[in-house]
Amino acid sequence: MTELGGLIARRIALTGPISLADFMAEALGHPRLGYYRRAVPVGAAGDFTTAPEISQMFGELIGAWLAERWLAIGRPAPVRLVELGPGRGTLMADALRATRAVPGFHAALDLHLVDTNAPMREAQRLALRGYAPTWHERFDEVPDGPLLLVANEFFDALPVRQFHRTAQGWRERMVGLDEQGGLRLALAPGATPFASLLPDADEGAEAELGEAGRALAGAIGARIAHDGGWALIIDYGAGTAGRAASLQAVRGHQGASILDRPGETDLSAHVDFAALAASAGVAAYGPVGQGEFLRRLGLQERAQALKQRAKPAQENAIDAASARLIAPDQMGTLFRALALGDGKNAPPAGFTDTPSDDTPRTFT
Ligand SMILES: C[S@@+](CC[C@H](N)C(=O)[O-])C[C@H]1O[C@@H](n2cnc3c(N)ncnc32)[C@H](O)[C@@H]1O
């Protein structure tokens, strides 16, 4: 067992089983040993690869999206440009490079990065030299003011509770101890308070509830309603998010068991976009599949432009990266984009058409 696994086991021995959300919060966020406090997870040498690390086009198109929203809200200066969980800083560096020519945009930007991870912050500092970012542990610490926010693969790392519908009703899945003192999953023997929040379902059904994600979406929505602005949230989440057991563990680009080696293993759950939109309480657009979103923003045209200046080997790499980002059997449909805004502006790029799942909805 890892040192953190031992600490969690000791806590359970003293106070009893803990929720999966509490386990996830410790495994990812423990101040000294948590995965997102000390690991460098993103990239070939880490545990997984993310869209901005696949191609510069991802961050460039998001930069254009942010600049267009800045124009749409009347070019406020300063505007708080916020990224939640910037990883290696690649998305933001590509976004800023791509928007240098937008008159007045960079002069108006006040860059804020929300990340708990010291090694990642160092990577961000290097990638974003020259843009004078301010770092925060939490979104609430970002000063008031008009907001442009982006979060890619951030909400999936926020803790979720998990439930199973038994013949007796919903039962929460807890982390307890086996006879050898190791960590094990087991259903709570009786009803727990959060189970009463779930709609009834057939026996055998699974459900997840992410209080942290909902609370954060609520805080972002409140800021947008008060100060104006837009947020773009991209993450993976099947249409069944919230109604399935999606929590998964990854280590070294391989699937792992959820309880295995806490602090050394990434944990993530599908994002329940409908719950985030409802919690935000402002105008919401989407979610729309990442493939469709990037296509509408002009990914294929950008790929063509890059290929014209590329060597033959690079052309193949550009094609492969485009396919990875947009193909339905790769990141194109599993990953989805949601936009939140104050509803006073024209709909944002990428969400303007209305195919099945991105009809604009307004929550008041
Ligand atoms: C999966 S990585 C994604 C990185 C980047 N957005 C990308 O697309 O490459 C998650 C990022 O969020 C940060 N993070 C995870 N949980 C966090 C939390 N609760 N508070 C602040 N930052 C967190 C991690 O340190 C990391 O930089």
Question: If you ran DSSP here, which 8-state letter would residue 48 be given?
Answer: B
Give me ligand 1 centre to Cα 230, in Å. Answer: 20
Give me ligand 1 centre to Cα 87, in Å. Answer: 6
Contacts of 260 (CB under 8 A, 6+ apart): 249, 251
Where do the CATH 3.40.50.150 domains begin and end in the chain? 37-158+210-237+289-337
**Ligand 1 atom closest to Cα of residue 36:** 25
**Ligand 1 contacts CB of residue 120 (under 6 A):** yes
Contacts of 219 (CB under 8 A, 6+ apart): 139, 140
* CA-proximal residue: ligand 1, atom 11 (nearest): 85
Pocket test for ligand 1, best of 56, 91, 117 (most atoms within 8 A of CB): 117
**Beta-sheet pairing, 79-84 with 229-236:** unpaired
State the 10-residue block means of pLDDT for the chain, 364 residues long. 96 97 97 88 75 97 98 97 97 98 98 94 95 97 98 98 96 97 96 91 96 98 97 90 90 90 95 96 95 97 94 92 95 96 89 50 35
pLDDT of the residue at 78: 97
Contacts of 238 (CB under 8 A, 6+ apart): 244, 246, 270, 334
Taking Cα atoms as reference points, which of 204, 75, 238, 70 lies closest to residue 150? 70
Instruction: Tell how far CA 268 is from the center of its chain.
Output: 9
Omega of the bond prior to 347 within 30 degrees of 0, cis?
A: no
* CA-proximal residue: ligand 1, atom 4 (nearest): 87
pLDDT of the residue at 44: 66
pLDDT of the residue at 340: 97
Question: What is the pTM (predicted TM-score) of this model?
Answer: 0.94
β-sheet bridge partners, residue 349: none
Q: 37-66 b/e with 16+ CB inside 10 Å = b?
A: bbbebbeeebbbebbbbbbbbbbbbbbbbb
Q: Token pair for residue 183?
A: 């960590």
Residue range 115-159, pLDDT digits in tens: 999 889 999 999 999 999 999 999 999 999 999 999 999 999 999
* CA-proximal residue: ligand 1, atom 5 (nearest): 87
Give me ligand 1 centre to Cα 182, in Å. Answer: 28
**Ligand 1 contacts CB of residue 42 (under 6 A):** yes
Q: Check: CB of residue 315 under 8 Å from CB of residue 303.
A: no
**Ligand 1 contacts CB of residue 157 (under 6 A):** yes
Residue range 35-78, pLDDT digits in tens: 999 877 776 667 778 999 999 999 999 999 999 999 999 999 99
Residue found by looking up tokens 């910037």 in the block: 86
**Ligand 1 atom closest to Cα of residue 85:** 12
pLDDT of the residue at 361: 42
**Ligand 1 contacts CB of residue 29 (under 6 A):** yes
Taking Cα atoms as reference points, which of 208, 104, 123, 205 lies closest to residue 159? 208
Q: 84-118 b/e with 16+ CB inside 10 Å = b?
A: bbbbbbbbbbbbbebbeebeebeebbbbbbbbbbe
Give me ligand 1 centre to Cα 34, in Å. Answer: 12
Give me ligand 1 centre to Cα 349, in Å. Answer: 25
Give me ligand 1 centre to Cα 321, in Å. Answer: 22
Give me ligand 1 centre to Cα 106, in Å. Answer: 24
In CATH terms, the superfamily for domain 37-158+210-237+289-337 is Vaccinia Virus protein VP39 (3.40.50.150)
pLDDT of the residue at 218: 98
SS3 232: strand
Residue found by looking up tokens 């209080």 in the block: 211
**Beta-sheet pairing, 147-152 with 79-84:** parallel
Give me ligand 1 centre to Cα 115, in Å. Answer: 6
Give me ligand 1 centre to Cα 42, in Å. Answer: 9
Question: What one-letter code names the amino acid at 145?
Answer: G
Pocket test for ligand 1, best of 40, 62, 116, 121 (most atoms within 8 A of CB): 116
Question: If you ran DSSP here, which 8-state letter would residue 137 be given?
Answer: S
H helix count then E strand count, the chain: 13, 16
